[in-house]
Structure 1
Amino acid sequence: MRSRSFRRSVLAVSVVLSAAACTTSTDGRPQPVPTVTAAGPAGDRIDVGTMHVTLPAGAKYTAHSQDGLLDGCITEGTVVCEARLLDLREATSDPNAPINLPSAKRPFGWYTGTDVPTCITAASPPGEAATATGSTLVESGFKPVGTKNAEYGRWQVSCEDATQNNEVRMWWLPTSKILVVEYGAFAGWDAKMDTLLTGATFT
């Protein structure tokens, strides 16, 4: 039970501004219920590990969901998971955690799970996405996240359901252990994510 829910939380993962209520799982451990920041007209400031960012106006952030599928998701309008902002410090410190470290040097480097990657898009949120069948790196290097330099990659992802083929962008801060993944990337979201990350601050 722990490894399944832990793996889901690792896939995409984070921290909150409001206090999280808890339920109890079948193994007796407390589990967080969904903790979502409200959508504000000027954008809300959220904390992900040591990183602090301001959401686009009207966007919401789910730090933790009960099933782990929406952990770290940014939501806008009908899009359930436009991008994920994850604090992987706990996951990467556990030698038994089922995790692949993010890397722009491998085909599915944006995917930290050890199971089969899925094609999360605007039309296919986590839990409903088709299996990813390919992931081709088309751009890599470094991009700024606030005053830090993140390992950056962009992949063209092919899916079992070809209508879900899309691009994925990733920023990985290996020292801070913060991962940002943008799903179904296109010009509008790219610009928002670039603005959000350029304005990031750290403590």
Structure 2
Amino acid sequence: MRVVWCWVLAGLVALTGTSCARSTAGEAVAATGAPKPAAPITVATMHVTPPNGTRYTPSTPNGTFDGCLATDTTACVVRLLDLRTPGGPYNAPNTSRPYGWYTGADAPLCVTRTLVPGSTATGSSLLKAGLAPIGSKKADYSQWQVTCQDTSQNGRLRMWWLPMSKILVVEYNSGSPLDAQVDQMLAAATFD
């Protein structure tokens, strides 16, 4: 009987330690378990407050996660890029190009919830194009269906492009519950 109680007590200590140490997206967790509001970020002249439960990575050594909002389960759900900065030529986003949401010259890699980067993209079809707000500005907006070498990585993405400000926002794996939060974040954006 004493051995059983020791096991129960050890299990409770382990569970308590695990739940007390758990945090959301690297943020402190309040006593209620809710994450602290995300800190505002600035990309070029745009100021946004990321959705709760996300964290922003302005740059990484290899550039793979530059400008990414990540969650606990996805390394890059939204990319916010300042294309004014030097770093070589880029292709301006354009709905007339096959990978119009991608600024590189080669075929892009797929971005999925589990793999970043994933397999090479094999196609990109424009689903919708028009204008959408980012704060007080109107962005070129488009939705794309992306196909990948590994078909399990196929998905949709959404893109907002401010050509005068040279700010690009790309949401990978569109259709998730995060869509409404991304829309709210961009609608509340302010500019210098």
What runs of 5+ residues in structure 1 fail to find an aligned partner? Answer: 1-36
State the Cα RMSD in Å: 1.5
Mapped contact 1:102–1:109 kept (Cα < 8 A): yes
1:167 to 137, 156, 167: 156
Q: For 2:176 and 2:111, locate their aligned partners in 1 and report how far apart those are by CA, in whole Å.
A: 17
List per-residue Cα deviations over 1:39-87 (Å, max 9, x = no partner): 4611210000000000111210000111111100100112100010000
1:199 to 145, 163, 188: 188
Q: Given the superposition, is the C-alpha separation of residues 38 and 176 from structure 1 closer, same or farther in structure 2, using an over 3 Å criterion? A: farther
Q: For 2:95 and 2:188, locate their aligned partners in 1 and report how far apart those are by CA, in whole Å.
A: 23
Q: 2:7 matched to which residue of 1? A: none
* Structure 1 stretch displaced more, 170-179 or 100-109: 100-109
TM superposition shift of 1:107: 2.2
Instruction: Give TM-score scaled by structure 2 length.
Output: 0.80
Residue 181 (str. 1) matches residue 170 (str. 2):
yes
Residue 107 (str. 1) matches residue 98 (str. 2):
yes
Residue 154 (str. 1) matches residue 143 (str. 2):
yes
Query: Given residue 141 of structure 2, which amino acid in structure 1 is its aligned partner?
Result: Y
Superposed, which structure 2 residues align to 1:37-116 within 5 Å? 39=27, 41-91=36-86, 97-116=88-107
TM superposition shift of 1:90: 2.0
Larger strand percent: 1
* Structure 1 stretch displaced more, 39-48 or 64-73: 39-48
Instruction: Give TM-score scaled by structure 1 length.
Output: 0.76
What runs of 5+ residues in structure 2 fail to find an aligned partner? Answer: 1-24, 28-34
TM superposition shift of 1:102: 0.7
Mapped contact 1:104–1:151 kept (Cα < 8 A): no
Q: Tell which structure's C-alpha radius of gyration is larger.
A: 2
Q: For 2:73 and 2:141, locate their aligned partners in 1 and report how far apart those are by CA, in whole Å.
A: 27
Q: For 1:85 and 1:61, locate their aligned partners in 2 and report how far apart those are by CA, in whole Å.
A: 9
Runs of 4+ in 1 over 6 A off after TM superposition: none
Q: 1:145 matched to which residue of 2? A: 134
